[in-house]
Amino acid sequence: MIRPLFIVGTRPGAIKVAPVVRATKEHPALDPIMLASGQHPELVRDALATFALRADAELDLGPPSGGLDEMAARLLDSLSAAIDRVRPDVVVVLGDTTTAAMGAQAAFYGEVPIWHIEAGLRTSAANRPFPEEMHRRLISRLATVHLAPTASARQNLLSEGIADSQIMLTGNTVVDALQFVVAQRATAANPTVASLIDSPGPVAVVTMHRRENWHEGIRRVACATLRLLDRRPELRVVHSAHPNPIVRNDVHALLDGHPRAVVTAPLEYGDFALLLARAKFAITDSGGIQEEAPSLGTPVLVARRETERTEGLRAGVAMLVGTDEDRIVADAERLLDGTSGLASTVAQMNPYGDGRAGQRIAHALATRLANVIVLRRSDGEEPPLAAAGTE
Ligand code: UDP
């Protein structure tokens, strides 16, 4: 059996890896192990539970210090030790989190091949978004196999000199995850969400968490929300506040007490998906929501200066609005009035995936690594790192 070690640390990581882990569990040639890094332990536990999954082991990183450097150092240390203990055939990391970057680095030092899910996303600046853009660039230097979600991600990797034979176009696993939860439930478990979904009138969903938007950007989006609520008495807004206190405190300080604003703790993924499907539009700096919204027919105002998810912009389902209050209010009102270019172009095929990425990745793990396992068994020794992951 081939033993892939999946390393996850954050909510989007858990949501996006879940369909792959489920597919590998069903594959007769694969014996997956899932390790939670301890970066966001509760969010990861909750997200995995939605998919009836639990990590096989969870690392304890100790009390958070707030510093990225300390978090990275603790992760590198703990993940290296875990890789040494497990001795997997391959380490699989996803996306651009500190967990993914340090997981890849630890696997490199442990001389274990690295597969990177959601490879090839790029913006034009190495430090924007910070630190994610540099994380994904570093992982691309370390990885053996690059699982690109879209054709443009694949093109980005080719432009950086990565061999075509090391890239696979898979679709984004978030589309699989979304299809799974939407098929599982018709109504929301959370009573506040269920009543919002059932009541008439437009609902907007807001989430903000990126470092580049901490303080000023998040406050500007909350102020734009208040202005919209003033101008549109029929509108209700749900702001799902990230648990990071730097983010959460600003949102509560500005929106608490408004009768048509609901500030919630993170919602369970299935409930959040139902709410997003019901929403007239979303305002967000999230990557995952940009990828999910097209499947749900929900247009997205992207509260960032630049996005690596350009497919949604090109498909006319998302629009970059930054965090300028006037711009957000004007574009949101156009969506409410049905006069936005976005409103008429939603509900097309999702440009990010078709819901079969997990199956493709499981199949690739079983077939591309089969040679490596046979080689190792017949020679009685590990193959060179370069042999792993090649056809
Ligand atoms: N999400 C969720 N509950 C919430 C808000 C978001 O399950 O209350 C999901 C959302 O559907 C998406 C993911 O969390 O799949 C996005 O996470 P986040 O915005 O933290 O990270 P990013 O996508 O920017 O990496």
- Ligand 1 contacts CB of residue 270 (under 6 A): no
Using CB atoms within 10 Å of the CB of residue 17, give its burial: 0 to 12 exposed, 13 to 18 middle, 19+ buried. Answer: buried
Confidence tier at 391 by pLDDT (50, 70, 90): very low
- Ligand 1 contacts CB of residue 128 (under 6 A): no
Q: Are 9 and 35 in contact (CB under 8 A)?
A: no
CA-proximal residue: ligand 1, atom 2 (nearest): 269
Q: Can you read off the two tokens belonging to residue 169? A: 């176009």
Q: Can you read off the two tokens belonging to residue 271? A: 């409930």
The answer to which of 30-34, 46-50, 60-64, 327-331 has the lowest mean pLDDT is: 60-64
Catalytic residue among 40, 122, 132, 146: 132
Mean pLDDT of the chain: 93
DSSP string covering 165-197: GGEEE---HHHHHHHHHHHH-SS-SSHHHHHHH
For 4-171+356-387, CATH number out of 3.60.150.10, 3.30.300.20, 3.40.50.2000, 3.40.50.150 equals: 3.40.50.2000
- Ligand 1 contacts CB of residue 272 (under 6 A): yes
Pairwise CA distance, residues 3 & 373, whole Å: 10
Confidence tier at 363 by pLDDT (50, 70, 90): very high
User: 219: how many CB neighbours lie within 10 A of its CB?
Assistant: 18
Q: Each residue of 169-216: pLDDT tens digit?
A: 999 999 999 999 999 988 999 999 999 999 999 999 999 999 999 999
- Of 184, 185, 188, give the one whose Cα is nearest residue 196: 188
3-state helix, strand, coil split of the chain in percent (to 5) is: 50, 15, 35
**CA 240–ligand 1 middle distance (angstroms):** 9
**CA 272–ligand 1 middle distance (angstroms):** 9
Report how far apart, in Å, the C-alpha atoms of 217 and of each of 21, 220, 268, 300 are. 35, 5, 25, 17
User: Which pLDDT score is estimated for 347?
Assistant: 56
258 is catalytic: no
pLDDT over 90, % of the chain: 88
Pairwise CA distance, residues 97 & 93, whole Å: 9
Query: Of 42, 207, 242, 295, which is best to mutate to test ligand 1, by the most ligand atoms within 8 angstroms of its C-beta?
Result: 207
Report how far apart, in Å, the C-alpha atoms of 31 and of each of 2, 21, 312 are. 6, 10, 35
DSSP string covering 269-331: HHHHHHHHHH-SEEEE--HHHHHHHHHHT--EEE-SS--S-HHHHHTTSEEE-TT-HHHHHHH
Q: Each residue of 375-387: pLDDT tens digit?
A: 555 555 444 333 3
Buried b (16+ CB within 10 A) or exposed e, 202-212: bbbbbbbbbbb
Q: Can you read off the two tokens belonging to residue 323? A: 């965090």
27 is catalytic: no
Q: 180-345: same fold as 4-171+356-387?
A: yes
**What are the beta bridge partners of residue 204?**
237, 281
Strands 203-207 and 167-169: unpaired
User: Which pLDDT score is estimated for 377?
Assistant: 55
Pairwise CA distance, residues 83 & 143, whole Å: 16
In the chain, where are the structural domains located? 4-171+356-387, 180-345
User: 259: how many CB neighbours lie within 10 A of its CB?
Assistant: 7
Q: Each residue of 116-159: pLDDT tens digit?
A: 999 999 999 999 999 999 999 999 999 999 999 999 999 999 99
Catalytic residue among 96, 271, 291, 331: 96
End-to-end CA distance of the chain: 18
CA-proximal residue: ligand 1, atom 19 (nearest): 286
- Ligand 1 contacts CB of residue 12 (under 6 A): yes
Report how far apart, in Å, the C-alpha atoms of 61 and of each of 13, 36, 45, 138 are. 17, 11, 15, 23
211 is catalytic: yes
Amino acid at the residue 65? S
CATH 3.60.21.10 assigned to 180-345: no
Amino acid at the residue 263? V
Taking each helix axis from N to C end, the angle separating 11-26 and 173-184, rounded to the nearest 10 degrees, works out to: 80
At 225, is the secondary structure helix, strand, or coil? Answer: helix
Confidence tier at 66 by pLDDT (50, 70, 90): confident
Q: Each residue of 237-264: pLDDT tens digit?
A: 999 999 999 999 999 999 999 999 999 9
